[in-house]
Amino acid sequence: MNKKLPKWWPFAAIGLVAVIILAGALFMFSGKEIMPSAGGSGQAEELEGYEVITIQVKSDGFYPDQIEVKQGVPTKINFRKDTSLTCITDVVSKDLDMLKYLEKGDNYYTVDTTLDPGSYSFNCGMYMYYGNITVI
């Protein structure tokens, strides 16, 4: 009990704890990355009763970049982002007054059912890639 520990003991203990925490953090981080795209945002989206149109967000734009939405039909657009290797971090639409940050995975945008028929354009936050929603 009274046996003296070496002077450096507290530092060794702190170092050991730091290593354990770091290893734990790394493990959790990699675990998250490995997990098969669990949606990213986590929260389950209510899709019941909605028409869902998926637009893939890729490194070189939106696929497809032209979609049609029927007026009055509850519709959600899923901006599906399967890669981080794209500069498209958000979708912007002046026409729709929309600004949406894109998480990795599914990103649902609910279309206003009262939109007038017509053409509504959207683009990436950098105004590099464009797409169009036609309400019919």
Amino acid in the structure at residue 57: V
The minimum distance between CB 87 and Cu ion, in angstroms, equals: 4
The closest alpha carbon to 103, from 123, 127, 79, belongs to 79
How near is the Cβ of 86 to Cu ion at its closest, in Å?
Answer: 8
Of 17 and 87, the one with the shorter C-beta distance to Cu ion is 87
Token pair of 24, please?
């734990």
In the three-class reduction of DSSP (H, G, I as helix; E, B as strand; rest coil), residue 22 is classed as: helix
Residue numbers of the site for Cu ion (CB under 5 A)? 87, 124, 126, 128
98 close to 108: Cβ distance less than 8 angstroms: no
Residue found by looking up tokens 């990355």 in the block: 33
The total number of residues written for the chain in this structure: 136
Residue 73 or 128: the one with the smaller Cβ distance to Cu ion is 128
- 23/134 Cα distance (integer angstroms): 50
- Closest CB 93 distance from Cu ion, rounded Å: 15
> Which is it for strands 90-93 and 98-101: parallel, antiparallel or unpaired?
antiparallel
Residue (78 or 123) nearer to Cu ion, CB: 123
Closest CB to Cu ion among residues 14, 126: 126
CB of 126 to Cu ion, least distance (A): 3
